[in-house]
Amino acid sequence: MKTLAFTCGDINGIGPEICIKSINKIYKPGRRKIILLCPADVFEQAASVSKPSFDYFILKENKPIPEKSQEVVIIDIGKSSQNRGVPSRQSGLIAFKAISLAFEMCRSKSADAMITAPVSKKAFHLANINYPGQTELLADLAGSKKFMMLFLSKMFICGLCTIHQPIKNVSRLISRKSVQSFIQILFDSLVKDLGIPNPRIAVLGLNPHSGEDGNIGREEIQSIIPAIKSFVNGAVDGPMVPDAFFANRLYNKYDAVLGMYHDQVLIPFKMMNFNTGVNFTAGIQVIRTSPDHGTAFDISGKGIADPSSMIEAVKWAEKILANRRKISNAR
């Protein structure tokens, strides 16, 4: 049996609601053990909007979790002053606490994977939590310098060389060493986490027309092409011209796509997978997935949030867990 730790995300957004809706769909006693880290009062308010169909009990933080319990465990991580629809200092602090506790549960093996609801970067800023997103926070908790934001779907898989960076910073962050490192992280994750034995990767160019032989920028010639050529087994192709690559659906020929910056791959990814895409933090020991959408403050508390991406996050987390266990058992 596997144990999954859900985090509430920003309590003023749709996080608590989609956690309840997702658990309603996936919970089966004896198949999964579910833990939700959320303030008890927030959970109860969300439960009044989206009724839980599962049995549960609320446990105070730092209390031991009964091993043989069949109910969903709600770990009360403190009282809140919920203000739906508005990011706040407190909502940032609670989201941060939930992530940190879930991470420690996974690191200590009391949970097998963590499924995180969306957080607000503004709430993090208000709480003086200096991370641009959950990926960077989790990498710091893991002590990992080699990590990647990876997006998973049945349509295609994509990774990013730069994450939450202003466009003006992207060019200077693209180097042969960095691109080579991200190709390797992506390749390793495809093999170890997703069970693809001989993955093929497409690397996108940075500039329009992938630089057009250096006439529209030289990052391809100086950094991207040398990084691709360092993988001599032929598993990596590029740099691809991004607009033609997606227009001609060339992603169907590859196991994953590596983009140079956030919107370059996330615009087509979300157009195809907005309710089913999943964010995965590759390159760290702890398995963490999340929906590929945000906090949706505008519909918080209305009971209309779609949990599909959160449910897919559970499925992908369990797939990654199964692949890692398979490799571990084969050793």
Domain boundaries, the chain: 1-145+278-331, 155-275
What is the CATH number that goes with domain 1-145+278-331? 3.40.718.10
Going residue by residue through the chain, which has 331 residues, state the pLDDT in tens, using 9 for 90 and above. Answer: 899 999 999 999 999 999 999 999 999 888 899 999 999 999 999 999 999 999 999 998 877 887 777 899 999 999 888 899 999 999 999 999 999 999 999 999 999 999 999 999 999 999 999 998 999 999 999 999 999 999 999 999 999 999 989 999 999 999 999 999 999 999 999 999 999 999 999 999 999 999 888 899 999 999 999 999 998 777 999 999 999 999 999 999 999 999 999 999 999 999 999 889 999 999 999 999 999 999 999 999 999 999 999 999 999 999 999 999 988 787 6
Position 211 scores a pLDDT of 87
Position 209 scores a pLDDT of 95
pTM over 0.85: yes
Residue 51: exposure state from Cβ atoms within 10 A (0-12, 13-18, ≥19): exposed
* Architecture of the domain delimited by 155-275: 3-Layer(aba) Sandwich (3.40)
Q: Which residues pair with 34 in a beta bridge?
A: 4
Fold agreement (1-145+278-331, 155-275) = yes
Position 231 scores a pLDDT of 87
